[in-house]
Amino acid sequence: MIPRADANGPPAQPAAPASDLPVLAAVDTPAAPGDEALWIDVIHKMDAVYADLVSSQSALEERTERLQEAHDFIGSVLGAMTDVLVVCAAGLQVQQVNAAMLRLVGGDATDWIGGPVSALFDAGDRATVTALIEAVRRGRPVAPREVRLAGAEPGLGLVSIDCAPRQDANGRLAGFVIVGRPIGELQRAYRARDAANRKLQHTQQQLLVAEKMAALGRLVAGVAHELNNPISFVFGNMYALRRYGQALTTYLAALDGGTSEAERAELRRSLKIDRILADIGPLVDGTLEGAERVRDIVQDLRQFSASREEAPDRFDVVRLVVTAANWVAKTRRTPPDLRFDLPPVLEVVGRKGALHQIVVNLVQNAADAIGGRSDGRIVVAAHAAADRAIITVADNGPGIAAEIRDKIFEPFFTTKPVGSGTGLGLYLSYNLAAKLGGTLTADTPASGGACFRLTLPMDARDG
């Protein structure tokens, strides 16, 4: 600091300069009184100039520091960006590129700065980039474009770019800022996801087919069992009728052959003609009944297999529920204790095949739930409530644990060992119930076990 002049005395001797700033050299010759005032004035002025210089220097230093901070901040932001960024002058020379861009196009910023902005892009897309910039220059609205970057690895260099004008402090066009979002990775991820989706759908289709085949298998086993009874019945009767026919033919031939009364009586007794005559009626009736049963089963089967295109039809829920439940019960190695709590008839108008499939699935699950338990029991009930038919299938198995209660209707959810269940039974049943205009819900009654409740409209044509 320059020594200050005291208002009442001569100026103090200036000390050695602290900096390179010019200072007035000390003079040791005595000064005239007029000269002294001049000196004081000069020293004051110099002091003021020096103070100004010092304060502008510190302001400059402060500003430089702030500038550096701002520069570092912008640098760190640009460096952290995952989108690519190019700043170019109005003449389209590159002024700035960020790290994300350099990672994709390679090289240092200095390799690109000063060069044409189009060089950053694939030769095939340069015209697109230039057209985009020119549109922005003319103030036209532009939409992002997908372009490839120069020399980027295959699958990595695709970016969706957008461009905005950059103005100087006077509001004049100073250049352009291009920002691009790399979409090569994104596209690859999308493609991988699509492929995984397609694979999943394919697998689900296969599982659905497998489930349908398993259902068909169960159905065929049930039908075979069901048909076996009446057919063996018909066979047995037909063999008996053939024997009866032979006996009657022999007897009639004896009658025609002029045999004696005694011989005829003996023949009648030995051929059991009277028993045959009494038996023929019931035998034919029984055979007819067996044949009718076969016809009914085939009809049931037809309706089941046609369930997809089946039109709503009037049918008896009770009869259908009993048939479906029995089919399942009879195919089990240990037939479950199956009980019914049903009205004599419960007619509804709906799709018989779909209902059959639901009941089969529910009874199948109930039979699985009670397993080989000696006291295992399944109760199938139905009743009408206003415009709905309610069908319940309850069992006294372990019930449905709280943590899986909201999952059991999901496709492929199963707690059964691999190969024993596909987890599609309830999912399909739930959707079939919805298609029938009804609902399917699961309950765990306080008394234990599980109870599935199916509601159906009394007349599906109303819905």
Ligand X SMILES: Nc1ncnc2c1ncn2[C@@H]1O[C@H](COP(=O)(O)OP(=O)(O)OP(=O)(O)O)[C@@H](O)[C@H]1O
Q: How far is the CB of 403 from Mg ion (least distance, A)?
A: 19
Q: Estimate the share of the chain in helix, then strand, then coil, as percent rounded to the nearest 5.
A: 55, 20, 30
Q: How far apart are CA 281 and CA 287, in angstroms?
A: 10
Residue among 340 and 413 whose Cβ is closer to ligand X: 413
Give residue 135's identity as a one-letter amino acid code: A
Q: Verify binding: residue 425, Mg ion, rule CB under 5 A.
A: yes
Q: How far apart are CA 315 and CA 130, in angstroms?
A: 74
- Residue pair 377/337 in contact (Cβ under 8 Å)? The answer is yes
Q: How far is the CB of 232 from Mg ion (least distance, A)?
A: 31
Q: How far is the CB of 435 from ligand X (least distance, A)?
A: 17
Partnered with residue 453 across adjacent β-strands are 392, 441
Q: How far is the CB of 78 from ligand X (least distance, A)?
A: 55
* 228-262 residues labelled b (16+ CB within 10 A) or e (exposed): eebbebbeebeebbeebeebeeebeebeeeeeeee
- Residue pair 413/407 in contact (Cβ under 8 Å)? The answer is yes
Which of the ranges 97-105, 160-168, 349-357, 361-369 carries the binding residues for Mg ion, by CB under 5 A?
A: 361-369
Read off the tokens for 400: 């449905």
Residue among 207 and 241 whose Cβ is closer to ligand X: 207
The only residue of 323, 365, 396, 429 in contact with Mg ion, by rule CB under 5 A: 365
Number of residues that bind ligand X (CB under 6 A): 22
| Residues in Cβ contact with 385 at an 8 Å cutoff, skipping those fewer than 6 apart | none
* Residues 191-220 contacting ligand X, CB under 6 A: 211
Q: How far apart are CA 433 and CA 274, in angstroms?
A: 57
The only residue of 365, 437, 454, 456 in contact with ligand X, by rule CB under 6 A: 365
Q: Is the Cα dihedral 168, 171, 174, 179 positive or negative? A: positive
Q: How far apart are CA 167 and CA 139, in angstroms?
A: 13
Residue among 43 and 450 whose Cβ is closer to ligand X: 450
Q: How far is the CB of 378 from Mg ion (least distance, A)?
A: 14
The only residue of 152, 366, 382, 454 in contact with ligand X, by rule CB under 6 A: 366
Residue among 39 and 413 whose Cβ is closer to ligand X: 413
Q: Verify binding: residue 159, ligand X, rule CB under 6 A.
A: no
Residue among 175 and 425 whose Cβ is closer to Mg ion: 425
Site map 398..437 versus ligand X, x via CB under 6 A: -xx-------x----xxxx----xxxxxxx----------
Q: How far is the CB of 428 from ligand X (least distance, A)?
A: 8
Minimal CB distance to ligand X: which residue?
425
* 167-184 residues labelled b (16+ CB within 10 A) or e (exposed): eeeeeeebbbbbbbbbbb
Provide the binding-site residues for ligand X, judged by CB under 6 A. Answer: 211, 361, 365-366, 369, 395, 397, 399-400, 408, 413-416, 421-427, 450
Provide the binding-site residues for Mg ion, judged by CB under 5 A. Answer: 365, 425
